[in-house]
Amino acid sequence: MSRMIGNVGVLDLTEATEESVTSIERIGNVGLVIYRSETSYLLTQLKNAGNIGKTIEIPEGHRYYSGTLRLSEDYFQLLEQPDRVFVNGTVIIDKGVSLEAFQNSPLHLVVNGEVYAPRHLAAAVTAALIKVGGASAEVHAYEYEPRFESGKVQLNNAYLTSSNEPMDLILNGKIQLDKELDMEQFAARIESLRINGKAVIYEHQSPYFYDKLKTMNGLVEVIPEGFEYVIKPLRLNARNIRRFKGHKFYTKKPFIIETDVSREAFSQAISEIHSTSFIICSEEIEDLVWERCPDLNTEIVSYERQFVFINGEETWSRDQLLALGQQASFIVDGTLTFDDDVTEEDIKASVSSLDLFGEVVVGEKRIKGILYPYLRVNNGSMIVKGTEEELAGIGNVGMLSL
C-alpha cells in the first residue's frame, strides 16, 4: 500500500531500497536528505516530494551515527584502529579529554550539526573537523559541562540550585522562566543558553535572559509586566471570580465567563485580558470584555441565555439536544458529532448560534446545510460522515528512515 507522509525533518536513505522509496506516494517538504553513494540514485525517485532543503552524502568508509555522541578520555585512549564516523546531530567531548589524547587518536570525524568541546580542545577540534559534501559543524567551546534538556522545562529556583557549578544549558523544546525566579541567581548559575524551540519569559526577566542567550532557533514570548500567565482554559463564575482584584491575564487558551458573573463583579476582578485564543461571555457583559481586550485579534463570542462549550470529542443525540430545554450557543473547539437521529427541527429548537474553532461531524449533507445559517465564527470545518478522506499515512515526522 502506498503511504502519504507529512513534512520530514531528516530523510535517511542510507539503507533505502527502490521498494521502500516507491512505497511512499507522497512526502511533504524535506529539511535534509542523507544518503550514501550507492543509494544516491534513489534521490531521483522522490518525484512526489515537496521542497528539499539540503542533501548530504556520507563519505565512503564512514559509519553513520544519528543523535548525540559523547566522546570520553577512555574512548580516545582505547581507540587503536581508525574510526571513521559521520555524525548527524551533536557531539560532546568530555572535559577530561586531554589535547594529547585527542590529537593522537585515529578518529576521523565528520559532523553535520554541533560540537561541544572544552576550551583547551576547541581549536584542535575545529582544525580536525572535515567538511564533506555539505556537512557543516558549529563548534562551541565550553568551560562548564553542558546540560541538555528536552521537552518542557520549568526553570525555577530549585532548578538553579540543582547544579554545583554554572551551567551551559542547551534546550530542545520549551523553556518557561518561573515568575518568582531569582534573576541574580540566574545570572550567576547560567553561563549560557542555547535554545531550539520556544522560551516564555516575563518582561522584567528580559535583560538577564538575553544576556545569557547565545543561540535561539525558535520563538521568545515575553509576558508583559503585571500580567498573570494562564496555561490552561480559565472558567470564571460568580464564586471563584471573587479571588481576583483588578487582575491582568495573559493567555493562549479559551477564557470562559459564566452567565452568573455580574457586570460589577467582572469590572472589579479584571482590568485587562491579553488573549490569542477566544473569550466566551454573556451578552450582558460583552461591552466590558471588549473594553478590556486591547488586542483586536482576540475573538469574543457571546451568548444570550446559555452556551455549550465543546473542548474534546463529544457526540450529541436528539434526546441530549431536547434536554437543553431552550436554545443555546454552541462553541466548538474540539469535535462535535451529531447523531443520525438529529433532525432539522431539533437544531432549530436547540441551537441559537454556532461558533466553530474545531470540527462538526453530521450524518448527512442536508443537516450540514441547515447548520450553516447558525455560523458566526467559522475557523474550523464541517464534515459529513463517510466523506472523510482515508489516508494510509502519518503526519509530520522529525526523522524518517526508508
The whole-number pLDDT of residue 246 equals 93
The whole-number pLDDT of residue 391 equals 43
- 359-362 vs 335-338, strand pairing mode: parallel
Query: Is 97 buried (19+), middle (13-18) or exposed (0-12) by CB count in 10 A?
Result: buried
Helices (H), 83-205: 99-104, 122-128, 157-160, 183-189
* Cell numbers standing for residue 119: 576550551
List pLDDT tens digits, range 118-145. Answer: 989 888 888 888 766 556 778 888 888 8
- 270-275 vs 381-384, strand pairing mode: unpaired
* Cell numbers standing for residue 180: 518568582
Neighbours of 2 (CB within 10 A): 12
Neighbours of 56 (CB within 10 A): 19
Whether the CB-CB separation of 251 and 274 falls below 8 Å is answered with yes
* Cell numbers standing for residue 262: 455580574
The whole-number pLDDT of residue 47 equals 65
Whether the CB-CB separation of 68 and 89 falls below 8 Å is answered with yes
Whether the CB-CB separation of 354 and 336 falls below 8 Å is answered with no
Each residue's pLDDT expressed in tens, for the chain with a length of 402 residues? 446 677 787 888 877 777 777 777 777 778 788 888 887 777 777 766 777 777 888 888 888 888 888 888 888 888 878 888 888 888 898 888 888 888 888 888 888 888 898 989 888 888 888 766 556 778 888 888 888 888 899 999 999 988 888 888 988 889 999 999 999 999 999 998 999 889 999 999 999 999 999 888 889 999 999 999 998 899 999 999 999 999 999 998 999 999 999 999 999 999 999 998 899 999 999 999 999 998 877 889 999 989 999 988 999 999 999 999 899 999 999 999 999 888 889 999 999 999 999 999 988 888 888 999 999 989 888 888 876 554 445 656 666 676
The whole-number pLDDT of residue 335 equals 92
Spatial distance between the Cα atoms of 371 and 344, rounded to a whole number of angstroms = 9
The H or E element spanning position 348 is: helix 344-350
Rounded to the nearest 10 degrees, how much is the dihedral formed by the CA atoms of 20, 21, 23, 28?
A: 130
Q: Using CA of residue 197, residue 203, residue 204, residue 208, what is the dihedral sign? A: positive
The whole-number pLDDT of residue 237 equals 94
The whole-number pLDDT of residue 316 equals 92
Query: Is 169 buried (19+), middle (13-18) or exposed (0-12) by CB count in 10 A?
Result: buried
Spatial distance between the Cα atoms of 206 and 190, rounded to a whole number of angstroms = 14
What's the predicted TM-score (pTM) here? 0.72
